[in-house]
Chain A
Amino acid sequence: MAPRTTASAAVERPFDALSRNQLLELFYYARLTRDVEERLAILYRQNKVVGGLYRSLGQEGESVAAAYALARRDAVAPLIRNLGAILTRGVRPRDLFAQYMAKASSPTRGRDLNTHFSHIPPPDSDEPVIIGPISMLGDLVPVIAGVTLGARMQRHPRVGLTFVGDGATSTGSFHEGMNLAAVLKLPVVVVAEDNKFAYSTPVPMQMAIDRIDRRAEAYGIPHEMVDGNDMPAVYDAVKRAADRARAGGGPSLVGVDTMRMRGHAEHDDMRYVPRELLEQWKARDPIDRYRRWLLDHDVAREHEIDDIAKMTARHAAEEAQLAGESPLPDPAKAARGVCAEDAWMEPRLELVKSPFA
């Protein structure tokens, strides 16, 4: 293996500090995200997914790179299209498959959809906090602010990362949460995804500013805009923001320029998206680009990268099989667990490490 060429010391990039294993692990998670979703798309066509399937095709890179920039014990609050962030934090694909297939074995025992589940280890645990979304977007911003507030009071601080789409930056919850985090100087990083459409609504119908990261100017917090399909660039921006948050510098907003390559959900034929826009962004696919980057920088050879892709495809297939074989929930339990006196399930999520850890 040829040694990785290092950039000159003049520009300090956090990304340059990553080991070869870490660089490959980033590829592993991005590739795994796509393979899990491809497998979900098959299950969807087979009518095995209950309800809709919401793809992150074309945006996997930013979710993975942003989550990868966190310390292990940091908190993350992903959205529906941040499957990559969830996998990067160590959630097993079988749990995601079970969620989409509404199985009794799923983290929510079939009570809620897709990425709507959480993981809350004890305060001093090194495991990450994961807070799943609800469908009312924007709400995760104040909630992740509260997670970091609570962790700070417990003397076991955690940086909190959440994501917000261009559409959800129009909500009051987004504004209230950003403003509170700024006023209380909470260690929050918000990745604001400009993925060009909120369902069918284009970004210019969502905001009268030219760059999504400028939303942050109202809160007096640092912000920058990066190419969301450039995984090293996203990693750098989020790492800098997380380091600043950890050091007491308060929240930041990182805008990512990316493209939702499928419809809002799989039922949506996205006739409102110009074909040339899709072509243009297909050429900027984040996983292809990162693969090229690994090759160009002599991190790995083609066959080694192909081996990783084979590994993730096989892993996704096996995990989907496992989830598919598990039973649906027992309807006799439908009324259980509304309140503490009838506590019925404990949050349950087993996190795993990648082969590169």
Chain B
Amino acid sequence: MATLTYLEAIRSAMAEEMARDERVFVLGEDVGAYGGAFKATEGLLGRFGAERVIDTPISETAIIGAAVGAAYLGMRPIAEMQFIDFIACCFNIVTNFAAKSRYRWGAGVPMVVRGPCGGGVGGGPFHSGNPEAYFAHTAGLKIVEPATPHDAKGLLKAAIRDDDPVLFLEHKYLYRRLKEDLPEDDYIVPIGKAIVRREGSDASVVTFGAMVHVALEAATRLEEDGLDIEVLDLRTLAPLDRRAILESVARTSRALVLHEASRTGGIGGEIAACIAEEGFEYLDAPVTRLASLDTPVPYSPPLERAFMPDADKVVDAIRRLVRY
């Protein structure tokens, strides 16, 4: 067993996949000599050389375009967005070129686009984004967001081996805050499978990413109220594990959908609709969403705290939900 942080788990997944499959390569801004803005690719250049760890100009569209072209030929590029917010610069080529390719003419684009998402670190409006909803609306993309070092490694390996474009969202708040003993063997965490992080019977919190830990903290605090809260970590946002969501709601009859992106148009709406359409008869209360404010992510700590869900807000939301 090796004890790895979330960030080290990501680095380790890339190194292992590059070692086992010569088709895998990394490209992005400052990923080579500097090792990436967050050091996710540190050491890869020395180990695998400049042909497979490619520093690029500041050109998100060129990064993804080149990844698509190489992937067509059978390579397995891992493209880093320095912050996932910058994927907005290449929205077109991700959603129109990469995502639609298989449907249009049958060729998959086995590409991973990975980058740090999320707030709580004073990053402000352009370094804190959670863009999953923009991409969940695009057929042909897979989206994953791990909550633990174990899943970060296993999901990234699965993403690299996947034959479709996968958007791999890494929550930067977790990069160095979580450590976990990881198996030495070559494991993957399958794309499309949620996991119950905490079993419970009174309400389900359906969430992912850093919010899993917020939900777990809230669940622990609610034990004092005598409440037994289930926490479902989705892990994959496209395709959603609808079955796991419905099974959880069938056990608890109450659902709080929790995410860090803004509420309106967020992926929580899709999850809530899934429960309402397919799990209506399980419910003892309306499906509730808790998400960030419908504003850009503000910079100053008190503003950012007001913007984002935290354990206090989750506790309040669950208390309201069970009182319904």
Contact = CB atoms under 8 A, between A and B. Distances in A.
Interface string B111-152: 000000000000000000000000000011010000000000
A190 interface: no
A176 B105 contact: no
A202 interface: no
A149 B105 contact: no
B308 interface: no
Give chain A's interface secondary structure class.
Answer: loop
B86 interface: no
Contact of B74 (A112, A123, A136): A123
Interface residues of A, number: 49
B93 to A, nearest CB: 6
B182 interface: no
Interface size class of B (residues with CB under 8 A): 35 or more
Contact of A339 (B25, B61, B63, B140): B140
Interface in A89-110: 107-108
B124 to A, nearest CB: 24
B65 A154 contact: no
A147 B75 CA distance: 10
B93 A179 contact: no
Contact of A147 (B69, B100, B106): B69
Contact of A111 (B59, B73, B77, B104): B104
A146 B97 CA distance: 13
A62 to B, nearest CB: 23
A317 interface: no
A335 B110 CA distance: 21
Given A153-B52, A340-B163, A146 B68 contact: yes
Contacts of B32: none
A344 to B, nearest CB: 8
Given A118-B72, A139-B92, A183-B57, A337 B106 contact: yes
Nearest to B25: A153
Interface of A: 107-108, 111-112, 116-118, 120, 122-123, 129, 131-132, 134-136, 139, 141-151, 153-154, 160, 172-173, 176-177, 179-180, 183-184, 337-340, 343-348
Interface of B: 25, 51-52, 54, 56-57, 59-75, 77, 92-93, 96-97, 100, 102-108, 139-140, 142, 162-164, 239
5 contacts: A116-B104, A123-B73, A134-B96, A142-B62, A145-B69
